[in-house]
Chain A
Amino acid sequence: MIKQNASRLFWAFLLSFMLLLALDAVPSQLVEMKSRYASTWAGGDLVVKSPRHLDLDLMSQYQVSKSIKMSSMMLADDTAHLVHLQFIEDNYPLYGQLKSSSDVPIPQGGVWVSERFAQQIGLREGDQVAIGDQEWSVAGFVTKQDEQIFDFEAFSPSVFMRYDDQELTGLITPTSRLSIYTYIAGPEVMALSAKLEATLSKDARIIKPQESLGRIERIISQVVDLLWAVRLVGYLMAGFLFHLALEGYFHYLAQDVGTLMALGVRKAKRLRYITQPLLQVNLLVVTLGVVLSIVSIYGLNQALALLPMTLTLEMMPLVIRTLVTYVLMASALVFLHCNSVLNTPVINLMRQHPRSINYLLMFLVCSGIAIYTQVVSWDITGVSIQILSLAVICLFVYMLIYGLIYLCRYGLKLGGTRAYMLLNGLRLYGYEYTFVVMFLSVILTLGVFVWHAQTQLISSWQATFPDNASNGFLIGVQEREVSGLKAQFSWLNEADFYPIIKGRLIDINDQDANSYEQGRLKDHEALNRQLNLTMLSYLPPNNEIIEGTWPSEGLSADSGIMNRLGLKLGDRLTFLLYGEEVSLPITSVRQVDWRSMRANFYFIFPVSALEQYPASYMASAYLPPEHRDDLALMQQIYPGVTYLDVALFIEEARQFVDYIAASMTGMIGIVSIFGLLAFMMIFQRQHQQKKRQMKAMKKLGLDLRQYPVVQDERRFLTVLAAMLSILLSVLIIYMMNGLLTVSWYFDVNSIFVMLLMLVTALSIDALRARQLK
């Protein structure tokens, strides 16, 4: 018996081990990589982002590198492209890599272009491109840049130039929308950080990579959160696989243990008899699992080396964590099973009625293990709430499925012989089937949800745009250029050009904005960047005053940002503009239609408050496809003007959603495979019983082709799981539409994806079922 079951146990345990590794790899590594590569991705131990150049005297003992980043247009082969321009010094970056096809630094008058972008537009080394007032020679292609992960919001391809060449471009003006980055490396940078905080103006931002990576860190946390539900289901699935294998093992073992007890074998010896093979199998699994993990991680690291940024999985912590999780899970479940068999009366064991392990207990054990692995880098309250939520959902789904099976039993009684056969199977294994259907339907629902998010998140947002919505923005326009642009380009005739002054919100009611107590979101991005501020005497379209008076000598604020920052009418806000503080009370609240895709503003100042500051102009416009060539002409005449194509942003956003969806789909895929394995394992366990049933049926003269009982059960359960997941998906989409005011609809295509998976599972299973005949 042990020999027969050992290989089944081995494979189930090994698969559980590998599932644990896969589940742990992505989320934990995302979090760990963040701290491991913080300096590499940021390009220094400390980074200062400011609108002005810093006084470098304070940093004389440190390694320092400077860079200027801005959006601009590049003219290549008579086509204008939006690019993310970066002027860098020779020692950039202080940490991490900037690899190019060229062995030497960027030459004077030369540029490096991102390799992918160059391939897209067919650029070759030595080609000439126009940026700003001059033409530049392509001197190399960038193949790897670590800082791009930090710069992920730059939705345009990167172009690198020498720091000294900035003046020659003519793009750097007092009103240019640019950021100056100062990278600092060296020992005890935190002491320097304290000094800088005391001396720098409030519109400078000090980035301490080891403490916070800002927005990218929040995104990583959100991705980890999104993966959490999948991960928890995965942990339960690993536990379920493990449990099924053990239950199968103990099911056959029960009679042996009963015989041992009947023949007077003491508890210690019985325990040894039960656990010895388990220990041997587990030892083998752990050894092989560790070897396979090392090989897998090594292979994955080789693949990650091909990415355009430095990213590796750290081997030992990952392997150790998986090992600890596996050992804990295995010990807990083996203990529960052993305890169950050892405490069953001998008479029950001999009748093959071992007390079955409680499924709820198994759920709690697996959840406990999941909590353990999470609290290492997470807060226990958050995890507990999520586990509780998942438990409630599972309980709901469980009751629903069990109820359905219960109802089906009565429905089936009305059917013929075939229905009775199905009824027999459902009655015998109702409890196990319920769990399998529950896992399958939950994981399928998650899959369907991700499918919808991937396909509808962006398109449902786009669908809300009005028909005449703008498809681009002009920025960096000088006052003198406005009339010329309107006259030369017909599609700009009707466009409104708004004056833009960059400024940072520093105080709310004379209190530091970042520590303002009323704020719902303390680290709201509006507090961490230069805002586009405008001064107007008229109310722009798509804006409606809902409170206060307009026009007035005070500020007009968007109701959304007021809500997020905890502001109210009458609050006094202080902004830093060109190194000067401007303070005004909020005198009106505006409802802004952000979906209009027009130039909209969080804060509108009265003209009198800002007219003394230099301003550039910004406009939104609809560029008809037949006028796209105008962009090249515009770049030649107005090299300082940048056209931001909305389609480009949408495409980048779509790619970003795709990346996240792909990582989730990957995780769901892994968990689904294991779910199906668990599904088949249950049927495998019933193989002998089914064989006897078939034998009896043959003896009774029933034609097995007419009564494919085994397949009937599987078909019924898979269809039930699929129907339930569709039901849950529709429910979730309905709730999403209600809660988030999006307009998602249930995509019928998702059913085909789901069915494909189920049909594959059933086909494999049908082959196995043939052996029964």
Chain B
Amino acid sequence: MNCQALQVAEHEHLAITGPSGSGKTTLLNMISGIDVPTHGHVTVLGQNISQLTEEQRVAFRDQYVGLIFQDFCLFSGLTALENVALFKPDHSTLDECYKMLDAVGMSQRYDVEVRHLSGGEKQRVGIARAMVKKPKILLADEPTAQLDTKTAQSVMDLLFHLRQTQAMTMVMITHDIRVAERCDRMVSMESLSS
């Protein structure tokens, strides 16, 4: 992937689009520090994260970044509550996990193991897990890719509703132009690499 300069402002909501294999996920991984560039650098919140060690990048994500995956990446043997509680900050209480699950519409499903949940419910738990940390940056990799249209719509509504309640920067990968249009800005991978 050859990506030219991309800047995202604080509290901006950015949608990234592009064809398969154009490097959208790689770009998101670079921003989160999951992957590092072979050339150049990535600066997030004023920090050049490319120079950090693997564990420093883990700590950075712990402090500032929330992630939402297209395949949910939940712990299938744990309940919805346990999946969220696993990632709550040390200083917060379990009540906040309940509140977050309530906020994503999972109030009746706290104690259900996630393998028994539907796709939409799983993604709601994924969103709750990302948001419970109150991240400064939320990175979402095609969060509705595995959901049907109706469920995808409700998940997106939830995500944009949370945007109103929590001040944060959001970078989202999506193929859905309608979703992209709800963001502040939309960039395509072609424009980035040209």
Chain A residues engaging chain B, CB cutoff 8 angstroms: 1-4, 255-256, 259, 261-267, 345-347, 350
Contact = CB atoms under 8 A, between A and B. Distances in A.
Given A263-B130, A264-B65, 11 more contacts: A1-B75, A1-B77, A255-B73, A259-B69, A259-B75, A264-B61, A265-B86, A266-B62, A267-B58, A346-B57, A347-B34
B29 interface: yes
B171 to A, nearest CB: 15
A42 B42 CA distance: 82
Contacts of A264: 58-63, 65, 87, 133
B67 A262 contact: yes
A355 to B, nearest CB: 13
Nearest to A4: B77
A347 B28 CA distance: 12
The 5 A-B pairs with the shortest beta carbon distances in the complex, nearest first, are A264-B62, A264-B61, A259-B73, A3-B77, A347-B35
A267 B59 CA distance: 9
20 contacts: A2-B77, A3-B77, A261-B34, A261-B58, A262-B61, A262-B67, A262-B73, A263-B61, A264-B59, A264-B60, A264-B61, A264-B62, A265-B58, A265-B62, A265-B87, A266-B58, A346-B54, A346-B57, A347-B29, A347-B35
Interface in B29-58: 29, 32, 34-35, 54-55, 57-58
Q: Which of A2, A264, A347 has the most CB of B within 10 A?
A: A264
A344 B57 CA distance: 14
A256 B75 CA distance: 7
B76 interface: yes
Interface in B76-119: 76-77, 86-87
B34 A346 contact: yes
B151 to A, nearest CB: 22
B122 interface: no
B129 interface: yes
Interface of B: 29, 32, 34-35, 54-55, 57-63, 65, 67, 69, 73, 75-77, 86-87, 129-130, 133
Contact of B76 (A1, A263, A265, A350): A1
Contacts of A3: 77
A620 to B, nearest CB: 78
B55 A267 contact: yes
Contacts of B62: 263-266
A263 B55 contact: no
Contacts of B67: 262-263
Nearest to A273: B86
Nearest to A2: B77
Contacts, number: 52
A262 B77 contact: no
A263 B35 contact: no
A266 B57 CA distance: 10
Contacts of A267: 55, 58
A320 to B, nearest CB: 35
A307 B141 CA distance: 72
Contacts of A262: 32, 34, 61, 67, 73
Contact of B129 (A4, A263, A345): A263
Contacts of A256: 75
B11 to A, nearest CB: 21
A195 to B, nearest CB: 74
Nearest to B72: A259
A263 B65 CA distance: 8
Contacts of B34: 261-262, 346-347, 350
A687 B32 CA distance: 34
A350 B63 CA distance: 20
A403 B168 CA distance: 58
B157 to A, nearest CB: 24
Contact of A266 (B59, B65, B129, B133): B59
Q: Which of B58, B77, B130 has the most CB of A within 10 A?
A: B58
B62 to A, nearest CB: 3
Nearest to A350: B34
Contacts of B87: 263-265
A266 B89 CA distance: 11
Contacts of A266: 55, 58-59, 62
A766 B62 CA distance: 48
B58 A346 contact: yes
A1 B76 CA distance: 6
A255 B75 CA distance: 10
B128 to A, nearest CB: 12
Contacts of A350: 34
A350 B67 CA distance: 13
A7 to B, nearest CB: 13
A256 B67 CA distance: 14
A345 B34 CA distance: 8
Nearest to A343: B54
Nearest to B76: A1
A764 B69 CA distance: 41
Contacts of A263: 61-62, 67, 87, 129-130
Contacts of B73: 255, 259, 262
Contacts of B57: 346
A114 B43 CA distance: 92
Q: Which of A1, A261, A262, A266 has the most CB of B within 10 A?
A: A262
Contacts of B60: 264
Contacts of A347: 29, 34-35
Contacts of B35: 347
B63 A345 contact: no
A298 to B, nearest CB: 38
B54 A345 contact: yes
Nearest to B65: A264
Nearest to A345: B54
A38 to B, nearest CB: 56
B173 to A, nearest CB: 15
Q: Which of A4, A346, A347 has the most CB of B within 10 A?
A: A346
B137 to A, nearest CB: 11
A199 to B, nearest CB: 78
A3 B77 CA distance: 7
A2 B82 CA distance: 14
A28 B121 CA distance: 59
Nearest to B66: A263
A270 to B, nearest CB: 9
Nearest to A255: B73
Nearest to B64: A264
B38 to A, nearest CB: 13
B121 to A, nearest CB: 18
Contacts of A345: 54
Nearest to B130: A263
A264 B76 CA distance: 19
A245 to B, nearest CB: 18
A255 B86 CA distance: 16
Contacts of B63: 264
Nearest to A349: B34
A529 to B, nearest CB: 70
Contacts of A4: 77
A266 B77 CA distance: 21
Q: Which of A262, A263, A345 has the most CB of B within 10 A?
A: A263
A262 B55 CA distance: 11
Contacts of B59: 264, 266
Contacts of B86: 265
Nearest to A264: B62
Q: Which of B32, B34, B129, B133 has the most CB of A within 10 A?
A: B34
A262 B31 CA distance: 11
B80 to A, nearest CB: 16
A346 B61 CA distance: 12
Contacts of A255: 73
B69 to A, nearest CB: 8
A262 B74 CA distance: 12
A4 B115 CA distance: 12
A365 to B, nearest CB: 26
A281 to B, nearest CB: 14
Contacts of A265: 58, 62, 86-87
B70 to A, nearest CB: 12
